[in-house]
Amino acid sequence: MGEISTINWYPGHMTKARRMMQEDIKLIDLVIELLDARVPLSSRNPDIDDLAKNKSRLILLNKADLADNRKTKLWTAYFEEKGFFVVTLDSRSRGGMKAVQEEIMKACKAKIERDLKRGIKNRPVRAMVVGIPNVGKSTFINSFAGKAAAKTGNKPGVTKGKQWIRLNKQAELLDTPGILWPKFEDQTVGMRLAMIGSIRNEILNLDEVAQSLIRNLRSQYPGALKERYEIEEDGEDYEILAAIAASRNWLVKGGEPDYNKAVNVVLEEFRDGKLGKITLEEPEKIQSER
């Protein structure tokens, strides 16, 4: 597991991004934090709570269409209890954007009322979108603004300069996605982010990631592998991967199961939602783990 836990996220770049975010946060009223609904805790950087102190907070549980609805409700309640506003969405579709707009207004109600008391009318609420790389920040900004307002891509910091996207008379969005980095001190975080595809495959031991995924699925979603691949779920994790290859008739020379193909396909199909709606973390378990 050393490969994930020692990933170097360019400390210089990270410090610069954090400093920029500290500057940007001074300009805004609301911090919109994007998380991956399948791993809400692992896709979150706890530094944001310190950076966004005294700001209204909205959490978007993205890719909720791939997540377990029951666990998403638990996470929604968990974050609401901490004082956040929460919306679940699939940012690849425009569904859910109206709910985001409504929550922005709710989250900033006190600020709007304060402005009115001071005689300030019609000053739009200013918001900023933050999150770790690959949670869909730029895609969300594009969908939400209804135009290609920010380049989408997996490279941290693609959007240059400070531009405000006017959403309507009531709200403006800073189009620079705020980059935070995952906390890799806990190896589980790196492993879970690897499973959902947030870390480039080239720097991972995919066999290890796939075996860890199999282990998680067997304990949290028994029957999911059996249903998808028509195999029994007993034996070692690597034996299950070999059984999947044999079941699908993926063979290498000599008629042996193509183990590497099984590793790649299982990870790909999990990420695409073909193994069902799956969430790898839930609040009670996280609290007991800690």
- Predicted confidence pLDDT, tens digits, the chain (290 residues): 444 444 444 556 777 888 888 889 998 999 999 999 999 999 998 889 999 998 999 999 999 999 999 999 999 999 999 999 999 988 567 667 788 888 988 888 888 788 888 888 778 889 999 998 888 888 888 888 775 344 444 444 444 557 888 887 788 898 888 888 887 777 889 899 999 998 877 778 999 999 999 999 999 999 999 999 999 999 999 999 999 999 999 999 889 999 999 999 999 999 999 999 999 999 976 655 54
pLDDT score, position 248: 96
Distance in angstroms between the alpha carbons of the first and the last residue of the chain? 20
Pairing type for strands 30-36 and 56-62 reads: parallel
Biggest CA pair distance of the chain: 81
**pLDDT at res. 91:** 57
**Count of beta carbons in the 10 Å neighbourhood of residue 268:** 12
* Backbone dihedral angles phi then psi of residue 61, each to the nearest 5 degrees: -90, 95
pLDDT for residue 2: 44
